[in-house]
Amino acid sequence: MKGFNKKYKDFPDYILKITKQIWEGKDVDSIGEFYTENIPVRSPFGITYGNKPVIEATYNTLKEFPNRQLLGEDVIWNGNDDNGYHSSHRILSKGTHLGDGFYGKPTGNDIYYRVIADCACKDNQVYDEWIVRDQGAMVRQIGYSPKEFAKIMIDKEGGLEKANKLFDKNDIKPSDYHPVKVEKNSAGEVYSNILSKVFEEGYDFKDYNRASSIYWPGNKLGHGREDIAKLWNSLKSILTDIKFTIEHVGYLNEPNKSPRASIRWFLEGVHSNDSKDYEKKTNSKLFIMGINHAELNLDGVIREWVLFDEVAIWKQILMNNN
């Protein structure tokens, strides 16, 4: 790979090894080498600019979870030497809550949750990142509900009037990264079409294999079309005036493996229905950022990983209902 250190055998190897070096090797300052000086990092909670906030956040997380491991489950990637590379890295994060910090006093609880990080890279550096964490799973294992933790965040930030604004469509700024063209009949195109249909009224989920599995925020796991429909509908049902947008598509075909796709998406709507997960309707507008991974075969989706941040949704609800 042009511009990359020769010790990396390919692009996924680069992504997996720098992640392990930073976190498990505790070489946090190497972020200054691997992340560009002015990198935008986007999450459901907003945007930071530059590698210094990334370094600070990494040190703080390791203080709370000193034995944190980031187990790379998959890297779905596209790109080339001329245009640069894009990775969608799905991680199973595990560790023990041993230090005081953002998540409160140490509980000693072992936790695990998933993260998906989309990174644009060139010349041995990450220059653009989008990241979604399953904080709903994380905070539940520490002892909070997503709503309770959202309230704590708002209070720490100075209350409803001063709390930090979350990411929304107005924060979508131009990037130096230019996505690859999605080829016809590729896993990327097929999964894009399926995911768009999920948000159509009356969708029957027959594009999912009868024995398919879904990994849902909150460390929830479902099997078969009935479970998958129930989980997706639990999100759809809280909203009206839904607008679903696909922001980025990645896909990968490798020998002896199922075709895989990664999709970064936005969901907008009005919180106009009561629900078990998000309680009483507030009639406020919500904006949800998500990243999905999927494996496909001739019968459709066989495995799907869905990530959005329940704490971020609750923070919006509480702030918008002020």
Q: How far apart are CA 214 and CA 75, in angstroms?
A: 18
**Do 300 and 187 touch, CB atoms closer than 8 A?**
no
Q: How far apart are CA 115 and CA 57, in angstroms?
A: 15
In this model, does residue 57 exceed pLDDT 90? yes
Q: What is the pLDDT of residues 144-190, one digit of tens each?
A: 999 999 999 999 999 999 999 999 877 777 777 878 889 999 999 99
Q: Give me the chain's average pLDDT, please.
A: 95
Residue 322's pLDDT band (cuts 50, 70, 90): low
Q: How far apart are CA 186 and CA 250, in angstroms?
A: 10
Q: Note the pLDDT of residue 178.
A: 79
Residue 27's pLDDT band (cuts 50, 70, 90): very high
Do 11-170 and 177-320 come out as alike in CATH topology? Answer: yes
Q: What is the pLDDT of residues 274-284, one digit of tens each?
A: 999 999 999 99
**Do 257 and 186 touch, CB atoms closer than 8 A?**
no
Q: What is the pLDDT of residues 103-151, one digit of tens each?
A: 999 999 999 999 999 999 999 999 999 999 999 999 999 999 999 999 9
Q: Note the pLDDT of residue 175.
A: 77
For the chain, what percent of residues have pLDDT higher than 70? 99
Q: What is the largest CA-CA distance in the chain?
A: 55
Q: Note the pLDDT of residue 257.
A: 92
- Scanning 50-168, the segments in alpha helix (DSSP H) are 51-64, 135-142, 146-156
What's the whole-number mean pLDDT along residues 215-225?
Answer: 98
Contacts of 200 (CB under 8 A, 6+ apart): none
Q: Evaluate whether the domain defined by 177-320 bears CATH number 3.10.450.50.
A: yes
Helix, strand, or coil here: 12? helix
User: How is the chain split into domains, by residue range?
Assistant: 11-170, 177-320
Residue 99's pLDDT band (cuts 50, 70, 90): very high
For the chain, what percent of residues have pLDDT higher than 90? 92
Q: How far apart are CA 178 and CA 232, in angstroms?
A: 30
Instruction: Tell me the CATH architecture of domain 11-170.
Output: Roll (3.10)
Distances (CA, A) of 222 to 191, 227, 267, 307: 19, 5, 22, 14
Tell me, what DSSP letter sits at residue 165? P
